[in-house]
Amino acid sequence: MPPRAPEPAGVGLVDKPRGPSSFAIVAQIRSRTGARTGHAGTLDPFATGLLLVLSGRATKLAPLLVGLDKRYRAEIDLTCRTSTGDPEGEVVERLEPPSERELAERLERLRGEIELPVPAASAVKIGGERAYRLARRGAAVEMPLRRSTVYALQVAAFSGARVTLDLHVSSGTYVRALADALGGHCAALRRTTVGPFSVEDAVPPDELTPERLLPEAEVRARVEAARAGAR
């Protein structure tokens, strides 16, 4: 296989649809451009929203981008927990939905710095093997704890059985782990921002052309400006 080309270079803002994996989206774009291609921050297949796709020489920007904070709109089903923390897993526990007061108390415990187990269906390596592969085989493993920060957590809608949340979280936060801690699973998830980049400026994967790639210098400038404003 010939080496992947350094051009076109830049960062694409892609609005990922529900269904394909982040890897599949990257592969689709790579097949069209022939360039080295990667992404900065995985979205699960069931999730939608902003995926930063790095093309050509801009793949070296990954360390700059993966550490950015993120915003999500999440719909949590409070009637059951699943093996994966999302709709793709098996139901492992049926639950009585909390009252509005009970929900408020649970949410309060999830604001600020938190420490929650990494979901079993994640890409974290346990003993050199991806956790999701161990989970598929039914292997019982103790998942490590992950420390992260929930800057904001607001209720957008609550029906009793389901709650819709607007989240602003640090890099490395597993929304599925938050859903499990609330006593449910993440039924739908949409990433709306990554640092200074918004899904409002994103395009579907098949509409990402070289002309739509953000130049490396602009990406660096926007990230630096966002970090300076956060100080």
> To 5 degrees, how large is the angle CA 102–CA 105–CA 111?
145
Q: Catalytic residue among 15, 44, 86, 180, which?
A: 44
Helix (H) or strand (E) holding 222, with range, is helix 216-230
Helical H runs in 82-207?
100-108, 131-136, 175-182
Asked if residues 205 and 14 have their Cβ atoms less than 8 Å apart, the reply is yes
> To 5 degrees, how large is the angle CA 34–CA 215–CA 47?
70
Does residue 201 have an active-site annotation? no
For residues 57 and 125, what is the distance between their CA atoms, to the nearest angstrom? Answer: 28
| Catalytic residue IDs | 44
